[in-house]
Amino acid sequence: MQPLIVVENLVKRYNGRGPVGRPGVVHALHRVTFSIAPGKTLALVGESGSGKTTTALCLACLERPTSGRILLEGRDIAALQEKELHAVRPQIQLVFQDPATSLNPRFTVLEILTEPLLFQRKARRSEAAELAYALMERVGLPAEIARRRSGELSGGQRQRLAIARALILSPKLLILDEALSALDCSVQAQIVNLLIDLQLSLGLTYLFITHDLAMAAHLGDEIAVLDRGRIVDRGAPEMVLRKPEKEATKLLVQSAPLSTGIQPLRRVS
Amino acid sequence: MQNALEVRNLHVNYISRAGTSVSAITDVSFDLGPGEILGVLGESGSGKSTLAASLLRLLPPNGRIRSGSVRLQGREILEASPGELERIRGKQISLTNQEPSLALHPTMRVRDQVGEVLAAHESLSRGARRERTRRVLAALFPFETERISSSYPHELSGGQRQRVLIAQAIACGPSVLVADEPTASLDPSTQREILSTFLNLRWKLGLAILLITHNPFLLEGLADRVLVLYAGRIAEIGPAESVLSKSKHPYTQALLRCAPSFARRDGEFPRKSKLPVIPGDSPDLAAVPEGCWFEPRCADRWEICRKREPATVPPGAGHLISCFKFGG
């Protein structure tokens, strides 16, 4: 089956200041290559600064790669002009870590959900509202909160709203960048179950970016390890995590809490 | 030996603009021994940050400590005058928050920010202050003391900024450090560095630490005892190993089951299976029930749980639970 998305030799360099304010070039991504099959989840793990968010931004067409290809269903979107990207962006959507900063706190739930539809001219106002309510139900948000401002919602509700907004344009690929990290444990579990449901019912493909190894192994069909802009390890979770060979992977495994059982030498029964 | 901190029957309210009052902390009592690390585990709305703020009397204007007692090294904090409080905070008890980038001055070098804390509490000559600053920073940054000392906050990583906050907090040698979500938004290996820092400080300085977090995994291998907060009340308290791996309160058990773990499946990697969730919503503190606060979501509930609240956990050693299943 053709992969939904293929990333080939993605390079991203920033001109600007390196650490401690000295001018220089930052090599954020170095020949990053991976692919994701439709309906599957690739979990991308790595330390802070390894390039996870840069990868997300390049795939979502919010940053232009320095070189390399990004093939969405066979078409190279990294080479497209801005005009053509307008039609591509709805197909790849992002959910960020902090819904408090990615959602306008003064907009109501309904406004946040209908805005993309109206902006992309995908529906008239009445249709947009209907679609919004349907999606609210899908993600477990009660209809009563439709007119509440996003700033008044709980963390879990806001993240459900962020997911609903990402889904309103029927994307094929959802990039979740540390989307669970700011949530309480019990709320994380609810959102994980929602993501699993949505993937099955809507055939969504996920790029799940996280520094939580246990969550990556739980949700990922495959895990890829990023280290300073390079993919150093990739494969099924049991292969990558059970006997880690690369230094970067070993470091991540060692930092995982003992009770998750990821550290293979000290499995808790 | 005297306890570093003794909290007895603490009740804290918030007053809304409409004038209604909501109880955020209800009848909380516990001890923090000298050099002890006590983990406070709670989710949003559990009252954990209110508890942290109350111990230093740093509640927002609509917060009220209704009653109770907080004794720091035997001295009652709740009766201290504003002048006395200024002398106590930073010198005898300190607080670190989870947003170091907001707490640190963006245009002051690290050494000046630590020096400022010393200047506020100690009458030292400039030379002596410089020397103390250097020693505090060396304790937290053994390998790059000079570079960190002369840096501005924006030149540091998240983990380094958190350590600068800790340096400020311990500069005057307090006996208690309250760390509120000290590792939020840090990646796992940086989290472990910060947690080792706490262990070091405990061993070297005999510092007692109240570590507040929503993540039970952070407390593994670090906390001596763990206190679990739910709806502003203590659900369970006891030795860390007991509370985290042999928890008794239905809320603690349900909470710990939420996280993905291979230990439970004997090392088999599950394929996207659904995680067990705690049914229902987090409690609405304005809607006071007759019985136990956790009852609507509890898998083990009895008739009595809806009618009466279980007994409050008294201060003391051992593994104590507020639940009818255990005598309540």
List pLDDT tens digits, range A68-103.
999 999 999 998 988 898 889 999 999 998 877 889
Contacts of A252 in chain B (CB under 8 A): 188-189
Q: Select from A41, A182, A215 the Cβ nearest to the Cβ of B260.
A: A215
In a domain, B157, yes or no: no
pLDDT at residue A123 in the model: 81
In a domain, B97, yes or no: no
| CA torsion angle A62 A66 A68 A69 (round to 10) | 30
Integer Cα distance of B146 and B321 in angstroms: 48
In a domain, A157, yes or no: no
In a domain, B75, yes or no: yes
Q: Which domain holds residue B52?
A: 5-92+174-326
Q: Is the pLDDT of residue A264 over 70?
A: no
Which tens digits make up the pLDDT trace of A176-207? Answer: 999 998 888 899 999 999 999 999 999 999 99
Average pLDDT over residues A222-234: 94
Q: Is B188 within 8 Å of A258 when comparing Cβ atoms?
A: no
Q: Is B272 within 8 Å of A41 when comparing Cβ atoms?
A: yes
| One pLDDT digit (tens) per residue for chain B, 328 residues | 899 999 999 999 999 888 899 999 999 999 999 999 999 999 988 999 999 999 999 999 999 999 999 999 999 999 999 999 999 999 999 999 888 878 899 999 999 999 999 999 998 999 999 999 999 999 999 899 999 999 999 999 888 999 999 999 999 999 999 999 998 878 888 888 899 999 999 999 999 999 999 999 899 889 999 999 999 999 999 999 999 999 999 999 999 988 887 655 554 546 688 888 999 888 889 899 999 999 999 999 999 999 999 999 999 899 999 999 987 6
In a domain, A35, yes or no: yes
Which tens digits make up the pLDDT trace of A125-163? Answer: 889 999 999 999 999 999 999 999 999 998 899 999 999
Question: pLDDT above 90 covers what percent of chain A?
Answer: 65
In a domain, A72, yes or no: yes
B203 touches chain A (CB under 8 A): no
pTM of the model: 0.90
CATH number at residue A75: 3.40.50.300
In a domain, B128, yes or no: no
- B164 Ramachandran zone, left/alpha/beta (phi>0; psi -120 to 50): alpha
Q: Is the pLDDT of residue A269 over 50?
A: no
Closest listed residue to residue A167, CA positions, set A103, A95, A105: A95
Q: Is the pLDDT of residue A124 over 60?
A: yes
Q: Which domain holds residue A235?
A: 5-95+172-260
Q: Is the pLDDT of residue A261 over 80?
A: no
Contacts of A261 in chain B (CB under 8 A): 261-265, 267
Q: Is B187 within 8 Å of A47 when comparing Cβ atoms?
A: yes
* 3-class DSSP assignment, residue A52: helix
Which tens digits make up the pLDDT trace of A169-181? Answer: 999 999 999 999 8
In a domain, B50, yes or no: yes
Q: Select from A190, A211, A267 the Cβ nearest to the Cβ of B277.
A: A190
pLDDT at residue A100 in the model: 78
In a domain, A266, yes or no: no
Q: Is the pLDDT of residue A267 over 70?
A: no
* Tokens at B274, concatenated: 């659904």
Closest listed residue to residue B283, CA positions, set A146, A181, A186, A191: A186
- Count how many domains chain B has: 1
pLDDT at residue B103 in the model: 87
In a domain, B33, yes or no: yes
Long-range contacts of B84-89 (CB under 8 A, 24+ apart): B85/B57, B87/B121, B89/B56, B89/B58
- Count how many domains chain A has: 1
CA distances from A223 to A22, A43, A50, A59, A207 (A): 34, 5, 15, 17, 10
Q: Is A193 within 8 Å of B187 when comparing Cβ atoms?
A: no
CATH number at residue B246: 3.40.50.300
Q: Is the pLDDT of residue A17 over 70?
A: no
